[in-house]
Amino acid sequence: MAGSRMRRLRGMEILFKGRQVKQFSESRYMVYSQHGNGAYSVRRRGETWLCECPDYEKRKAHCKHIFAVILLLGLPQTLASNSEVLASSRGPADRTRSSISYEGA
């Protein structure tokens, strides 16, 4: 269980780094290594995710590369639901102001 949680966190790290996941088709992705040692092909067959990395090959369970793709695919829905929650929790005046502030502005 803890191993899966760590792989999910590492998948988030890959995603947050940016430009680490490339989509080639609806079911095929390339995920670059966190350490700059190449890239791994991640594929979806039906409901099953597959990766070429050594971790997946050894355990046959979701690796950080698969988690990065799954998180990327779920990002639009997560952002939309979070923005709805945020908008409903603000008052009318708050909705017109940006929630981002810049130092010195």
3-state secondary structure of 5: helix
Is residue 67 within 8 Å of residue 16, measured between CB atoms? Answer: no
- CA dist 29 → 2, 9, 96 (Å): 26, 19, 38
pLDDT (average), residues 16-26: 92
Q: What is the pLDDT of residue 51?
A: 97
Is residue 30 within 8 Å of residue 24, measured between CB atoms? Answer: yes
3-state secondary structure of 11: helix
| Band of residue 99 on the pLDDT scale cut at 50, 70, 90 | very low
* Residue with more model confidence, 27 or 81: 27
Q: What is the pLDDT of residue 84?
A: 67
- 48 CB burial (10 A radius; 0-12, 13-18, 19+): exposed
Cα gap 80→58, rounded to integer Å:
36
Amino acid (1-letter code) at residue 76: P
28-71: per-residue pLDDT in tens?
999 998 877 789 999 999 999 999 999 999 999 999 999 999 99
